Amino acid sequence: MKRSILIYPIIIIALFILYKCGHMEKLPTVSEVEQGDTSYVQMFPNWEKEEYNFNTPKDIFVGNDGYIFIADSGNSRIVVLDQAGLTITEDEYGNNFQGLAEISIPGKGNVQPIRLGQDSKMNLLFIDGGNRIYAWNQYYNNVGIRYVSTEATLRHTKSGTILNSSQIDSLNYYLTNGYTLVNAKPDSSEELINSILAPHTFFDGNDPKNWEFVDDYGDTRNTKIVDLVAFGKDYSNGIYILDKRYNRIVKLKYIPKYILVMSDFSVVIGYEAVFSEVATGQGTGAGFVMEPNSIDIDASGNIYFTQTGGVYSCHGISAGSYRTLFNPGENDILDLGRFKSAWDISVDSRGIIYVVDAGSNYIQTFDNKGTFLRNIGATIVDGDSLDVIEIADILNHPEAISINENTVYVADTGNARIVRFQYIIMTEQNLQDLQEYQNP
């Protein structure tokens, strides 16, 4: 079995020796891979700063419908691209993303987004490192809002049971289980409707209803939400957030805020997020939080997060019980010294874990047991030895990653660009294409 050894371009003497002993490849050579092997191949062109006017791309997220959202923090905007890299402001399906071109929140001014997420209700969620979560709803902006009601009543057609709006957690559930909507008080004011269509506060750590979110002194002014991930659907929606100020993972739940009558006369409930519970708190061991950076979940609801403090850089905890998934000495992902700065983490549909090491300028991948698989974003050097030597010369302080099917998107923040890699199974045709690419 070959070992992977990573070196860095700044080590000039080492590079000179490698040049004499072997040659550097931008893609795997035919001699290094065989039919049936798998590989991550860099896709071209890169999505460069000059073409998209990127300032500081801090995060990248592939949405539910395949559009790619990029948090361009320095420009106070979220850029929307399609899979081909074309900038999208409107499309033939009615989507209009112009509200993301310059993000301003009433009472706060321009917001610089640093992390993104999306829930099943098509809320694009983002944060700026403070104690709030903001949302922009793609569905609302597609269909349009006719009326808003903050007060409404439902009546059961058989029993006559009355529910007021404070008791309604899922309108669709009640309307399909014998209830009808009565006595709603509609408001069609343009100011109110526009405030819901525009980016707005979705969770506020200073709101009195979130009193359990604050620390013992009731002070959230220094709370730092550094990442978030949405989970669930219908009335089970929620969000996990990383609070760097108090070193904890907090679970938020959704509660109804208003009833919306859309332009097509469909009726939906608008929600906000409130404090639910602390999933895990401060500590230095496996499964505990210390200087956290990023968070994600897998298909089973298990939580994964990275941090720069504590003993271990990457962690996994189980859904519900919040017990550690990995054990020191048993799982590669907990190896001491493996990461210089584990910045972002993502889990794909196959359960593969991707960890962006911003300090080492490449990505490490692991299976769902925490066993190391391979690196992404490094140039292979063929030295004709038992070791696979790699140089991390593609990325510069990468800060985020998102996976869509077989494509890996990386926010190459230091170079202010987006770099893509394609996961492929090597076939005879792929091997031939690689050979032609390297030897035109």
Say if pTM beats, i.e. exceeds, 0.85: yes
Indicate whether 5 belongs to any domain: no
Burial label for 383, CB within 10 Å (0-12, 13-18, 19+), is middle
Indicate whether 7 belongs to any domain: no
pLDDT average, residue stretch 34-60: 90
Checking 361-369 for CB contacts under 8 A at 24+ apart, the result is 361/8, 361/392, 361/393, 361/394, 361/395, 361/396, 361/397, 361/398, 362/6, 362/390, 362/392, 362/394, 362/395, 362/398, 363/398, 363/401, 363/408, 363/410, 364/338, 364/339, 366/332, 366/333, 368/298, 369/331
pLDDT at 14 over 90: no
pLDDT at res. 195: 97
Q: Percent of the chain, pLDDT > 90? A: 70
Q: What is the pLDDT of residues 351-361, one digit of tens each?
A: 999 999 999 99
pLDDT at res. 175: 73
pLDDT at res. 163: 84
- Lowest mean pLDDT, pick from 61-70, 282-291, 384-393: 384-393
Q: Predicted confidence band at 152 (pLDDT cuts at 50, 70, 90)?
A: confident
Determine the structural domain holding residue 231 and report its residue range: 38-438
Helix/strand/coil for 15: helix
CA distances from 425 to 38, 86, 300, 401 (A): 4, 27, 26, 21
pLDDT at 440 over 70: no
pLDDT at res. 343: 98
Q: What is the pLDDT of residues 359-371, one digit of tens each?
A: 999 999 999 999 9
Strands 387-391 and 3-7: parallel
pLDDT at 336 over 50: yes
Q: CA triplet 430, 431, 435: central angle to 5 degrees?
A: 115
- Lowest mean pLDDT, pick from 111-125, 155-169, 304-318, 397-411: 155-169
pLDDT at 15 over 90: no
pLDDT at 20 over 60: no
What token pair was written down for 165?
Answer: 């709006």
* Backbone phi and psi for residue 195, each to the nearest 5 degrees, phi listed first: -70, -30
CA distance 63 to 100: 14
Q: Predicted confidence band at 328 (pLDDT cuts at 50, 70, 90)?
A: very high
Q: Token pair 């070992």 is at which residue?
A: 3
pLDDT at 172 over 90: no
Could you give the number of structural domains in the chain?
1
CA distance 260 to 389: 58
Q: Where are the beta strands (DSSP E) in 281-357?
A: 292-297, 303-307, 314-317, 342-347, 353-357
Kind plus residue range of the DSSP H or E element containing 434: helix 428-438
Q: Predicted confidence band at 23 (pLDDT cuts at 50, 70, 90)?
A: very low
Q: What share of the chain is helix, strand, coil (3-state, %, to 5)?
A: 15, 45, 40
pLDDT average, residue stretch 401-405: 96
CA distance 124 to 257: 17
CA distances from 350 to 84, 300, 315, 320, 346 (A): 24, 11, 18, 21, 11
pLDDT at 439 over 70: no
- Lowest mean pLDDT, pick from 105-109, 143-147, 175-179: 175-179
Indicate whether 294 belongs to any domain: yes
pLDDT at res. 51: 98
Helix/strand/coil for 92: coil
- The region that residue 291 occupies, defined by phi over 0 for left and psi between -120 and 50 for alpha, beta otherwise, is left
Instruction: Judge contact between 122 and 61, C-beta under 8 A.
Output: no
CA distance 312 to 240: 20
What token pair was written down for 184?
Answer: 């709603």
pLDDT at res. 186: 87
Indicate whether 2 belongs to any domain: no
Handedness of CA 197, 82, 77, 115 (dihedral sign): positive
Those residues whose C-beta lies under 8 Å from the C-beta of residue 140, and which sit 6 or more positions away, are: 122, 196, 197, 260, 262
Q: Predicted confidence band at 86 (pLDDT cuts at 50, 70, 90)?
A: very high
Q: Percent of the chain, pLDDT > 70? A: 82
Q: What is the pLDDT of residues 92-136, one digit of tens each?
A: 999 999 999 999 999 899 999 999 999 999 999 999 999 999 999
Helix/strand/coil for 5: strand
Indicate whether 32 belongs to any domain: no
pLDDT at res. 25: 36
Amino acid present at 268:
V
pLDDT at 329 over 80: yes
Indicate whether 4 belongs to any domain: no
Question: Looking at residue 207, which CATH number applies to its domain?
Answer: 2.120.10.30
Q: What is the pLDDT of residues 188-246, one digit of tens each?
A: 999 999 999 999 999 999 888 888 777 655 565 567 999 999 999 866 899 999 999 99
pLDDT at 79 over 90: yes
Residue 379: strand pairing partners: 391
Q: What average pLDDT does the structure give for the chain?
A: 87
Higher pLDDT, 140 or 38: 140
pLDDT average, residue stretch 29-47: 71
Indicate whether 25 belongs to any domain: no
Q: What is the pLDDT of residues 265-285, one digit of tens each?
A: 998 889 999 999 999 999 999
Q: Token pair 């990468």 is at which residue?
A: 398
Q: Token pair 């006719």 is at which residue?
A: 146
Q: Predicted confidence band at 182 (pLDDT cuts at 50, 70, 90)?
A: confident
Indicate whether 15 belongs to any domain: no
What token pair was written down for 440?
Answer: 């035109």
Amino acid present at 72:
D
Q: Predicted confidence band at 164 (pLDDT cuts at 50, 70, 90)?
A: confident
